[in-house]
Amino acid sequence: LGRHRDDQRQSGFTYNGVEFSQNNLNLFAGLCAVDNQEHVDIMMRELAAHGQHCTRMGAYKPRTNPYSFQGHGKSCLPWVFETAGKHDIRVIAMEITHESHIEEIDECLEKLGRPTGVMLQVGTRNTQNFELLKAIGRQKTYPVLLKRGFGITLNESLNAAEYLASEGNANVVFCLRGMKTDAGSPHRNMVDFAHVPTVKRLTRMPVCIDPSHSVGSRDAAPDGIPDVMHATAQGVVAGANMVLVDFHPRPEKALVDGPQALLMEELPAYLEDVNQCHQLW
Ligand code: PEP
């Protein structure tokens, strides 16, 4: 992934009509977890109405507690992909936690005539699951969104990205999502978006930020602007190329991470803010 200056490997790629590079910005607003068809439809319809073609939707959810909702898995894929096709959503960022999920996604997309595309997301807990990384790296159909490990060094997380590339898949976006700390951060994780330019300098990968899993709540500053938006602004001004952010039509009904999801009525202002911050590049 170009961590050596004399390296001629690619920087950026285009997937399903969407360009990913160190020079542009893509927004992936969406549901942390797919819960029901109505919410998926509302989410995608609103995104389409605002000119958006990408989203995030979790079908396989890695949960800290085994008794928490684990995601609908394979069973929801047909209606999620069909709904995406209906609303011209071209890329869905979807976390996978086992290599068998690649086949499940691929079989389903193939059967439906590929109404949309999928970016395979590797979550922070799996950043050093080397066998999973190798399996994802061996396939070249789907690009990869690799989250930074929350408790390892940046260098170790960048090495994880090299696992993907060394197996053949260099279509990788690296995602900053905050770090666990005992230093008393008021947020769920210490926001690390100052590292956006650092990762861009050290690699050729486009860099994503996930303000929702960094901040972890819908709390707002005294100006009324949610901390998630403030964190987004920091990351976008710092040069982020992708934003992964949780929205939900009814956060109180969300099955995963409802308290950090922004409200649908906040989407237009959020898009406007992201756009204005992007102009500051
Ligand atoms: C997610 O994006 O749904 C997620 C679980 O993120 P992370 O792996 O960063 O915790």
Domain boundaries, the chain: 22-279
Does 148 contact ligand 1 (Cβ within 6 A)?
no
- Cα–Cα separations (whole angstroms), residue 251 to 219, 246, 255, 271, 275: 13, 10, 9, 19, 25
Question: Tokens in use for 248?
Answer: 């939900």
Does 188 contact ligand 1 (Cβ within 6 A)?
no
Ligand 1 centroid to Cα of residue 48, in Å, is: 24
Q: What is the ipTM of this complex?
A: 0.98
From the list 228, 148, 155, the residue with the least C-alpha distance to 188 is 228
Place of tokens 């979807």: 94
Q: What is the pLDDT of residue 7?
A: 54
Does 32 contact ligand 1 (Cβ within 6 A)?
yes
Does 187 contact ligand 1 (Cβ within 6 A)?
no
* Number of Cβ atoms within 10 Å of the Cβ of 181: 13
Nearest CA residue ID for atom 6, ligand 1: 123
From the list 47, 42, 17, the residue with the least C-alpha distance to 245 is 47
Q: Output DSSP code: residue 253.
A: G
Taking the C-alpha atoms of residue 2 and residue 164, their distance in angstroms, rounded to an integer, is 13
Q: Which atom from ligand 1 is nearest to the alpha carbon of 58? A: 3
Share of the chain above pLDDT 70, in %: 97
* Mean pLDDT rounded to a whole number for the chain: 95
Does 147 contact ligand 1 (Cβ within 6 A)?
yes
Total residues belonging to the chain: 281
Among the residues of 61-209, which ranges form H helices?
77-86, 100-112, 130-138, 154-166, 196-202
Tell me the pLDDT band of 9, cut-offs 50, 70 and 90.
low
For the domain spanning 22-279, the CATH number is 3.20.20.70
- What is the mean pLDDT of the segment spanning 212-237? 95
Q: How far does Cα 168 stand from its chain's mean position?
A: 21
Q: What is the pLDDT of residue 5?
A: 47
Ligand 1 centroid to Cα of residue 213, in Å, is: 6
- Cα–Cα separations (whole angstroms), residue 169 to 10, 108, 140: 11, 22, 6
Report whether 231 contacts 265 (CB < 8 A). no
Q: Alpha-carbon dihedral of residues 272, 275, 280, 281, nearest 10 degrees?
A: 160
Taking the C-alpha atoms of residue 85 and residue 40, their distance in angstroms, rounded to an integer, is 12
User: Which residue among 125, 152, 177, 188 has the greatest number of ligand 1 atoms within 8 angstroms of its CB, and so is best to mutate?
Assistant: 177
Q: What is the pLDDT of residue 12?
A: 93
Judged by phi (left if over 0) then psi (alpha if -120 to 50, else beta), residue 51 lies in: left
Does 39 contact ligand 1 (Cβ within 6 A)?
no
Q: What is the pLDDT of residues 30-76, one digit of tens each?
A: 999 999 999 999 999 999 999 999 999 999 999 999 999 999 999 99
pLDDT at residue 2 greater than cutoff 80: no
Cross-strand pairs, 47: none
User: Which residue among 56, 95, 129 has the greatest number of ligand 1 atoms within 8 angstroms of its CB, and so is best to mutate?
Assistant: 95
- Amino acid identity of residue 248, one-letter, is H
Q: What is the pLDDT of residue 3?
A: 55
Considering the entire predicted model, what is its pTM?
Answer: 0.96
pLDDT at residue 10 greater than cutoff 70: no
From the list 63, 58, 66, 54, the residue with the least C-alpha distance to 26 is 54
- Amino acid identity of residue 95, one-letter, is E
